[in-house]
Structures are given as structure tokens and as C-alpha cells.
Amino acid sequence: MSIRIGIMGYGNLGRGVESAIRQSEDMELKAVFTRRDPSTLKINSEGVPVLAAAELENMENDIDVLVICGGSATDLPEMTPKYAAKYNVIDSFDTHAKIPEHFANVDKVAKEAGKIGIISCGWDPGMFSLNRLYAMSILPEGKDYTFWGKGVSQGHSDAVRRIAGVKDCRQYTIPVEDSVNAVRSGSNPELTTRQKHTRECFVVAEEGADTAAIEQAIKTMPNYFADYDTTVHFITEEEMARDHSGLPHGGSVIYTGSTGEGNQNTHVIEYSLKLDSNPEFTGAVLVAYARAAYRMNKEGISGAKTVFDIAPAYLSPLSGEEIRAHYL
């Protein structure tokens, strides 16, 4: 019997989850749920119903795991605890400072309901977090570095779009290659924000807009750009559509640690991702962990979980015997 998945929210991430379910022979997309008018939504999976979110009131017997594809600012803090009262759920909550609170909220509801609620899943938080934890657990005397990119930051692209005279923007975060190499060498450099990443913006301006003023507004924007070296390019709508329609991303977690008498031996652990599509990869991580949620819950486990709490074998559709024989 297939694991029956529901997707709540059908933006880029929801479509990424849908794509990953198609590649998972042990899973079935049961329905897509939306807060929009369902009749306006066309999804990629034929024969799968699009339903109003309110239908989730009564579908406990039809959905094994609900993958919640909402925003961290306002959607997930409300939705994940709410749906954990009826479903095994999983989200990609990434507001760092609020993880403890979100975890506690989901844990309480999920435990009462006897369900699993996996939070903060994806690649960062997610696979990058895992690699930080494995590395520092193995080499307690060490230091971790995270570099992001080259990739599109949606938050930074949105911030630029809010500037007067900007019609569209795509912002790329780019790691500084010399700094990455210094870290890889094991020299444990101290790096400022500016030394770690640069930012590059491709901007479509409104006709007649003051491009010098836009460039100035971008480069001096606090939090988003002021602490970085930023390059701004003005391009046409056609160039934007032709050259910047993808959502690539990636990055590296690099950990250097020492062992031995006098710590004379250095070890470098590097985990890196180069992703053509950030939402499709994130969706694929969510789907693998949805499998884990289902299987752990079948064993009677409940409550809030993160990637730290989940044994890797739960992610694979293969049996323990098969993974030991072929992948150990």
C-alpha cells in the first residue's frame, strides 16, 4: 500500500514536492489543498483532486502525511500545529530564532494526537544542519563555516522589488572563492560578512526610472545589502525571462577540526550542494522525510521531530537488509 501524501499550498515548493512524489514508487499524491479557489488551480498531476483547505477537517482517513508548503513568517507557525492535531505533518520552517517556540507548539499538539510533526526540513535548515551536527560530534575541537550560493535568494529579490521604480529583480548570493579556499585549507580564518559572500542583482527598471537612485537604494539597504559588496545590472524584461527564470541554489558546509597529541592533525569535512532547482530539491528532501514520518508513526512514535531525531534508514524505501548489503 502506498503512503498517501497531501500537499497543503501549491507554490514553487508545493510543485517541487509534487515532482518528488512522482519519483517515489511507494507514494501517492492524494490531493493538493489550497486557500485559493480550487477551481482556479491547475496542477501537474493528472487525476489528483485540488481541494479547499477546509476539506482537511475531515480527511484523516485519506492522508498519511501532510506536507505543508507555506511561508515561515505567518503560515507555518499557525498551520503546522493546527494540522498536527489530525495528521502527520512536515514543514520547512526556517525562521531560526523561532525554532524552539515552533518546535514546542508542534510537539504539544502532535503528542496529544499521537502524530509526528517534522519541522525545519529541507537543505538549510535540513541537510546542512545535519552535516554541522555530524561534523562537530565527530571532531569536537573544530569550527564550522557555511557558504551559500551561487543561487537566487527570494528574500533579497523581493526586497529589491519593493524599491520605487523597480519592476522585477533577481538577486544572486555568491560565495567569495578565496574565502572558501582559505577555509578548505584548514587555516580557520576569521571572516567578516563581506568576506564570505557577494551579491549580484539583475534589475528590470520601470520606464524612465532613475537607475542611479535605484542602484544606490539597493547598495545601502540595511540588513539585506549594506554589509556586502553588491553589483547591480539593469536588464530588459526579455533578458530577465531568458537568462534568469530558474531558481538555482546551493552552497557548502565546511568543518575543520583537529586531533592527536597537540592537535597536530587537521581534518576537513565538506558537504556541498549544487542545485538546478532549489524548490525541487527542497521538495525532494521533504518527501524523503515524509516517508520517515509515516514509518516512525507506524511504530508508535509521536511528537515534534527534526532531522537530528530521525535515523537515516527511515528515509529509504529499501529494507534494512538491502541498505546494509548495498550501501554500507
Q: Can you give the binding site for its own copies, defined by CB under 8 A?
A: 16, 19-20, 23-24, 44, 96, 99-100, 103, 120, 125, 127, 129-134, 136-141, 184, 186, 259-261, 264-277, 280-281, 283-285, 288, 291, 306-313, 315-317, 320-321, 323-325, 327-328
CA distances from 284 to 6, 34, 290, 294 (A): 14, 20, 10, 16
Residue 100: how many other CB atoms lie within 10 Å: 9
CB 98 to its own copies: min, Å:
11
Q: Please say which residue, 162 or 308, places its beta carbon nearer to its own copies.
A: 308
Q: Starting at the earlier edge strand, list the strands of the sheet with 166-175.
A: 151-152, 166-175, 197-205, 229-234
CB 15 to its own copies: min, Å:
9
Q: Please say which residue, 229 or 270, places its beta carbon nearer to its own copies.
A: 270
Report the residue count for the chain. 328
Q: Please say which residue, 86 or 111, places its beta carbon nearer to its own copies.
A: 111
CB 134 to its own copies: min, Å:
6
Q: Please say which residue, 115 or 291, places its beta carbon nearer to its own copies.
A: 291
CB 163 to its own copies: min, Å:
30
CB 290 to its own copies: min, Å:
11
**Beta bridge partner(s), residue 90:** 67, 118
Q: Please say which residue, 76 or 269, places its beta carbon nearer to its own copies.
A: 269
Between CA 289 and CA 252 the distance in angstroms is 21
Strands (DSSP E) along the chain, which ranges? 3-8, 27-34, 50-52, 65-68, 88-90, 116-118, 142-148, 151-152, 166-175, 197-205, 229-234, 249-259, 265-275, 303-305
